Amino acid sequence: MLQLPDSIPRMKIPVSVDESYKLCRQLIVKYSTTFYIGTLLVDKPKRKHIWAIYAWCRRTDELVDGPASAITTPETLDLWEQQLESIFAGQPLDSIDVALVDTIQRFPIDIQPFRDMIAGQRMDLYRSRYETFEELHLYCYRVAGTVGLMSTAVMGVDTSTNTAPWNCHQQPYIPTEEAITLGIAHQLANILRDVGEDARRGRIYIPQEDLARFNYTEQDLFKGVVDDRWRSLMRFQIARARQFYAKAEKGISYLSADARLPVWASLMHYSRILNIIERNDYNVFTRRAYVPQWQKLRALPAAWLRAQVL
Ligand SMILES: CC(C)=CCC/C(C)=C/CC/C(C)=C/CC/C(C)=C/COP(=O)(O)OP(=O)(O)O
C-alpha cells in the first residue's frame, strides 16, 4: 500500500465523479477552446476520459508555465508526483483528480507516461537550452509524446481489421511509437511557432548544435534577426517536424475507427502551423503562426476523408 507523506492529508473529496468530469471540461474550455472543440470529435463515451487526462496534463504544465510558476520549486513537483501516485492508488486528493481516478480504473492506462511528463516539467525548471536534438527529443517525448500514450490508451486500437484473418491469433498492432511521435511532432511545431515568445522568457528550445550548424547565434535569435541563415535553419527544423508527422500518420489507421477523425484533425491543424510559418517568411519573432478558425473548420472534411480511407 502506498505510504502518503504527512503533508498530504487523506480525505473524502466532496464531489461526485460526474461533477469532477465537468470540472475537467471547464478547465479545458478555459485554457484552450480549440482543444476542447477538438475533443468533441472524440466519440461521446470516451470524451470525458480524454478531458480527465488533459486536465491533469494542463495542470502539470501550469505548474511550470502558468502564472503561479514563479513559486514552483522542485519540491512542488515532488508533491505533485506524490499526488499522482495517490491517484493511481485510487485515492484522489482534490476534486479534479476524482475523474482521473475513475478513468484509470476503466482503461489500461500506465502511470509511467504521467511520471515522465512531470520529469519533462522538471527539465523546464532546470534548463533553458538544449545542446543536441537528442536532448530536445527527450524533452518533447516527456511533455507531449506522453500525451499520445495516455490518449491512445483511451481511444483504443482497432481489433477487427488490424491483422489479417490468417494472423488472427496474433495480438493487434498497437501504434505506440506513432502515438508518441505525433505528440513530439506537435511539440516541435509549437516550439517553432513560439520561438519569439520563448526567447522573451530567456528560453531557446532549438538545439544549440543546429544554431551553430547554420552559423546563427543566440544574440541573433534574441534580436529576432530574420536572414538567410535563419531561413535555412527554420527550413531544416520544419523538414524535421514534418518527418515526425509523416511517421505518426502511419499509425492512425490502427486506432479504433471512431478515434481516427479527431487524430487526423489535430494532426492537420498543428502541422498547418508549419505552413503558416513558411508563409510568414519564417518570421516567428513578430508574427504569430496563427491558424484561423475557418481554416480549422475547412480542414474537417479532408480529415474525415482520410479517417475513412487511409
Ligand atoms: C497517431 C496515433 C497512433 C495516435 C494519436 C495519439 C495522440 C492523440 C497524440 C497527440 C498528443 C498530444 C495532443 C500532445 C500534446 C501536444 C501539444 C504540443 C500540445 C500543446 O498544447 P498547448 O500548449 O495548449 O497548445 P496551444 O499553445 O496551441 O494551445
3-state secondary structure 168-179: CCCCCCCCHHHH
- The answer to whether the CB of 156 falls within 8 A of the CB of 256 is yes
Taking the C-alpha atoms of residue 15 and residue 270, their distance in angstroms, rounded to an integer, is 35
Q: For ligand 1, atom 27, name the residue with the nearest CA.
A: 190
CA–CA distance, 117 with 122 (Å, rounded to integer): 9
pLDDT band, very low/low/confident/very high, at 20 (cuts 50, 70, 90): very high
Nearest partner of 193 among 291, 69, 297, judged by Cα = 291
Place of cell 500506465: 110
Q: Decide: 271 in ligand 1 pocket, CB within 6 A.
A: no
Report, as an integer, the average pLDDT of 8-24.
85
Closest ligand 1 atom number to CA of residue 182: 9
Q: Give the residue whose CA is nearest to atom 28 of ligand 1.
A: 190
Domains 13-113 and 127-310 share a fold: yes
- Atom number of ligand 1 nearest to Cα 267: 10
User: Which CATH number is correct for 127-310, 3.90.950.10, 1.10.600.10, 1.10.1200.10, 3.30.750.24?
Assistant: 1.10.600.10
- Residue 304: pLDDT band (50, 70, 90) is confident
Ligand 1 binding pocket includes 263 (Cβ within 6 Å): yes
CA of 144 to the centre of ligand 1 (A): 6
Among residues 258, 211, 250, 249, which one has the least CA distance to residue 230? 211
**How is the chain split into domains, by residue range?**
13-113, 127-310
pLDDT tens-place string over residues 201-222: 999 999 999 999 999 999 999 9
Please, which residues bridge with residue 157 across strands? 255
Write down the pLDDT at residue 4. Answer: 43
Ligand 1 pocket, mutate which of 31, 178, 186 (most atoms under 8 A from CB)? 186
ipTM of the complex: 0.95
Average pLDDT, rounded, for the chain? 92
CB of 183 sitting under 6 A from ligand 1:
yes
pLDDT of residue 3: 43
pLDDT tens by residue, 250-301: 999 999 999 999 999 999 999 999 999 999 999 999 988 887 777 777 778 7
Query: How many Å apart are CA 286 and CA 226, to the nearest integer?
Result: 10
**For ligand 1, is residue 252 a contact (CB within 6 Å)?**
yes
| Residue among 186, 63, 205 at smallest CA distance from 121 | 63
C-alpha cell read off for 109: 492506462
Task: Dump pLDDT digits (tens) for 228-246.
Answer: 999 999 999 999 999 999 9
Residue 283 Cβ inside 6 Å of ligand 1? The answer reads no
Nearest-CA residue for atom 24 of ligand 1: 32
**Architecture of the domain spanning 13-113:** Orthogonal Bundle (1.10)
pLDDT for the residue numbered 2: 39
Ligand 1 contact, 192 CB (< 6 A) = no
Q: Considering the entire predicted model, what is its pTM?
A: 0.92
**CA-proximal residue: ligand 1, atom 29 (nearest):** 32
**pLDDT score of 37 more than 90:** no
- Rounded to 5°, the CA angle 152-102-138 comes to 40
Q: Pick the range with the lowest mean pLDDT from 34-38, 195-199, 207-211, 240-244.
A: 34-38
Which amino acid, one-letter code, is at 56? W
* Strand, coil or helix: 157: strand
Give the model's pLDDT for residue 163.
61
